[in-house]
Amino acid sequence: MNDPGQTRKMMAMPNGEGAPISTLPISRDDLIHILKTEGSMTFSPGDVRTIPSGYSGGLNGGVLVHVGGDPNNAASWKYDLVFDANGKLAYYNKGANSLEK
């Protein structure tokens, strides 16, 4: 799932109109609940890594979410998600090994 309008902002440089927003539009607990509902797997809080998206591009106020796997190996992540500043899902990728725990 991809919302091109939102993911395009991720590739754009920040516009410089203000500091990056470091608060997250969705809580880690909500993310864990969504993932359990979607994939019937329970992840610990340490498995759900969040990065405010305003630090790396123009999607200020959103969040990049990497779930499970090795933090240094994107190919091992169970899920890769992006939420916009309103907490709306902008990008969803379920990893090939997402059914394995």
For 40-83, the pLDDT digits (tens) are: 788 999 999 999 998 888 889 999 999 999 999 988 999 999 99
* Count of beta carbons in the 10 Å neighbourhood of residue 87: 14
What is the domain range of residue 40? 4-13+20-94
Q: Is 101 inside a domain boundary?
A: no
pLDDT for 100: 55
Q: Is 42 inside a domain boundary?
A: yes
* CA distances from residue 21 to 17, 60, 71 in whole angstroms, order as listed: 11, 6, 23
pLDDT for 98: 56
7-16 tens-digit pLDDT: 888 888 887 7
Question: What span, in angstroms and rounded, lies between the C-alpha atoms of 55 and 63?
Answer: 10
Q: Is 100 inside a domain boundary?
A: no
Q: How many domains does the chain have?
A: 1
Q: Is 28 inside a domain boundary?
A: yes
pLDDT for 95: 86
Q: Is 50 inside a domain boundary?
A: yes
